[in-house]
Structure 1
């Protein structure tokens, strides 16, 4: 826990600065400037930048003379002067410019000694850069304490300087992240958490460069399942995987839908960590890994030993990507974290055997599922308003006649810190949180469709987008029937709208992902 100091607004940095205003000890030029000012002449200087060097502070000053001329000066100070501070200096001797500080004007500098929780609510993640770190005077028997000036890099207070006290010195120049606990307290977030987020973003870019759409693989498996040329074991694996895919009509049942989500590959790692390895057989990602392990002819032309098979299964999809060469694509590279993932096909390789092509398709399918999983991690965590957001994003291939339709799903839960604590402690109703769902699919002849819905305290609101204008008109004409059916299921229904085109894209903060604001 780090306490923000509770000093009042500062007109001078402290008692030493007040003393320096009489003696000139506060500020010393690094290089003499003879003739810059006439003896006895005064001028104003503004602090342009500051950095701590040992126990001193190195300042870059912009000095403005009475005639308007400006000069850049470098100086040392015994006390920190935040960027933007102004000092009045004077020429003391005719042969050199020994600046005498007459007055320090810092009352116009935003140096926060407490946080306004209406602007940075409890739970907000603040990020900043440490400008200074100094030990505070202590009496015998007292615990050591250190005071630092931190420049805030995010939130509505970005650019302000925060004065904080901590039991340990903060390395000057270091970046830190801290959660707001109150108007005068912060809790530091370990740097490893920030590094994890960076690693997720980097890995997501890599995975999205490897991935390809699932229907290409499923169509190839359909051919293998009906072919007599494929091996018995490979054909059985293809049949088993295709049989595990849900039919579109089955997803109208809540239990079948829950089972389809559970077997989509999004929870494979969680099941394995939880010791549920015996229950992962129907999982889509598990079946893809086993399918790759059964393919007898890798691109090197050498058979896989059992040890190599085990290594391949653990290293996927990275090893498969490096072993199979470049993947072609016919669509632009998607942005990390974008939803939905666009359709992406692999270019066929000349003189390529069917099994090698199948290996490439299976590895690309695993990468696509991994992209969804990494996007879930990237979009989970504390929001700017202090709430906690959890995201589950996945893709379910659905049978629709003789076709396979990928249904992309993103579920999000947003809770206040109090709701999260109550849910974990008392098992409170999960519907008290804000729930959001996004769906994306391409259903012939309706074309690409996207759905965004929000459930807040039993009230459901939603928006739909159809790329084909005639489909948008058709859906809009049926919204009344949809509202009646939702009301019959006991839901309180808010706004329901359908738009032609696609949802707005581009950089969005997490707060801007509130598609429907029920309080507006």
Structure 2
């Protein structure tokens, strides 16, 4: 890994800046503005943004004159002034601003010369955008050193500018990720996958607002399956999809549970990539896509054609409805678990098949939201461990109704465990496993389960939104412990709480990778 060393303490600006400050040539306005500042007067200015173009630096200033008027100016300079710098300027000519040296000197406090490890502890993953990059003068025979200003995008010091020295040039405008080694030392973290994570986060923000809960669609499919006047092929698809859903009692068997997770739609793309055509027949997402492809041909006046993609099969009405849903719905937090329940209301002048198509498209979007949440929460943690996440949703038949069971599985491995697994020398139980479940089972109400398996020891916490359900579960925990012990499981703490799990900070893959000033 390449080291990035931060600069030592700075007490004055560069010699070039001092000379420029004396001659009034530090800042050059991009457009002449004669008389902007009356002769003999000064104005306060703040650097809003900084961009390097070749050997020059382009600045945007917010100028506040003595009468209170504010003006934004574009100027160029021979030396960078970090965003947030407060300076006092005067005008020498129509196209030049002189910067007062003492104010420029004071403004340097906005550039971090050291990292405060009480705010950004050693091991913290810092993310930032490169604003400038300059080759420093070097003595003969000495290696090249590049000095850059980096705007921090995360941590407690987000928004600050960090001055760093690097043995290699940093591309201007690029995003970098580095781990804090000390108050004056950073270590590059490879960018492989970081841009993918950003893309996933952006897609997930949109995707989650197009999704809707599965029960609405499953109820509509039950009605379709009982309708003798429905299109035969469409009704057969509805019956096939409903028949593929597991019953609650079946999930007590490990093989049936594994099969239900395998058919949840989370692994459809992997099955297709691996050529497992036979396993696709019972896959939930595959059946939903098959249903979507058949529904338009059953609409009155629809042409008989074999659609080739989801975009082709969805009529304009369904796309517009999903777009309207996206505009008016509150934005859920990306990566949140469980996904909130969302039902689509029927639209005026909409036929049953059009409503069915809209519900099916929203159900596919919900499964895709789970899949992208899995990708978003998979990656290398700040401590170097690898976290892998699988998140999905399984609709379970419970009597005459369907209950969505949301599942999130996470595996966390140390670098040594990763190496052992690659050589097939690792016991799977040596990794840290987490499982979260969320479901609403009548008459118990909404329940959430969080369990952790570490070094073969299982511990868990349960939350019930209904207080009487929490009391009931609490009385049954002793029996649950005995049954687990009888199965040879080493059991740690087990507890049940009323309400919902706390939503405070958790150990996650760092996802904030957005330049808010871009």
TM-score class, shorter: 0.7 to 0.9
Moved more, 249-258 or 76-85: 76-85
SS at match of 1:151: strand
Aligned to 1:180: 179
Residue in 1 aligned with 2:310? 315
Structure 1 segment 97-496 matched on structure 2, within 5 A: 101=101, 104=105, 111-112=112-113, 119-122=120-123, 124-138=124-138, 146-162=146-162, 163-165=164-166, 167-171=168-172, 174=173, 176-180=175-179, 182=181, 183-187=185-189, 189=191, 192-193=195-196, 195-208=198-211, 211=212, 213-295=213-295, 297-299=297-299, 301-306=301-306, 308=307, 311=308, 314-315=309-310, 319=314, 322-323=317-318, 326=321, 333=330, 335-337=332-334, 338-348=336-346, 354-383=352-381, 387-417=385-415, 419-424=417-422, 427-496=425-494
- Greater CA drift, 220-229 or 261-270: 220-229
Structure 2 Cα separation of the partners of residues 13 and 453 of structure 1: 56
| SS of residue in 2 equivalent to 1:168 | coil
Change (3 A) 1:299 1:61: closer
- C-alpha distance 166-319 of structure 1, shift in aligned 2 (>3 A): farther
What is the TM-score of this pair, normalised by structure 2? Answer: 0.75
Does the CA-based 8 Å contact 1:247-1:400 persist in structure 2? Answer: yes
1:237 counterpart SS class: helix
Cα distance in structure 2, aligned partners of 1:447 and 1:50:
52
Contact preservation (8 Å) 1:207, 1:370: no
Q: Give me the whole-angstrom Cα distance separating, in 2, the residues matched to 1:380 and 1:29.
A: 48
Kept in 2: contact 1:336–1:375 (CA 8 A): no
Label 1:188 to 1:484 Cα distance change in 2 as closer, same or farther (>3 A): same
Q: Taking structure 1 as the reference length, what is the TM-score of the superposition?
A: 0.75
Cα displacement (A) at 1:81 = 5.5
CA shift digits 1:218-275 (9 cap, x unpaired) = 3343344455444554444333322222121111122211111011001111222233
1:369: how far off? 1.7
Deviations 1:61-96 (A, max 9, x none): 999xxxxxxx9999986544556889999xxxxxx9
CA RMSD of superposed structures (Å): 4.7
Identify the residue that residue 513 of structure 2 maps to in structure 1: none
The whole-number CA distance in structure 2 between the counterparts of 1:287 and 1:427 is 38
The whole-number CA distance in structure 2 between the counterparts of 1:99 and 1:224 is 76
Structure 1 equivalent of residue 93 of structure 2: none
CA distance in 1 between partners of 2:101 and 2:321 (Å): 66
**How far apart, CA to CA, are the structure 2 residues paired with 1:29 and 1:360?**
58
- Give the count of matched residue pairs: 485
Contact kept, 8 Å, 1:26 with 1:101, in 2: the verdict is: no
Note the alpha carbon deviations across 1:321-370, whole angstroms, 9 max, x for none.
Answer: 754652698x9646143332333333345676554443333333222222
CA-CA distance at 1:439 after TM superposition: 1.2
Please state how far the C-alpha of 1:100 moved relative to its aligned partner.
7.8
CA contact (8 A) 2:205 2:331 kept: no
Q: Deviations over 1:123-177 (max 9, x none)?
A: x542223332212335789876532111212124434433132533532xx2513
Aligned to 2:67: none
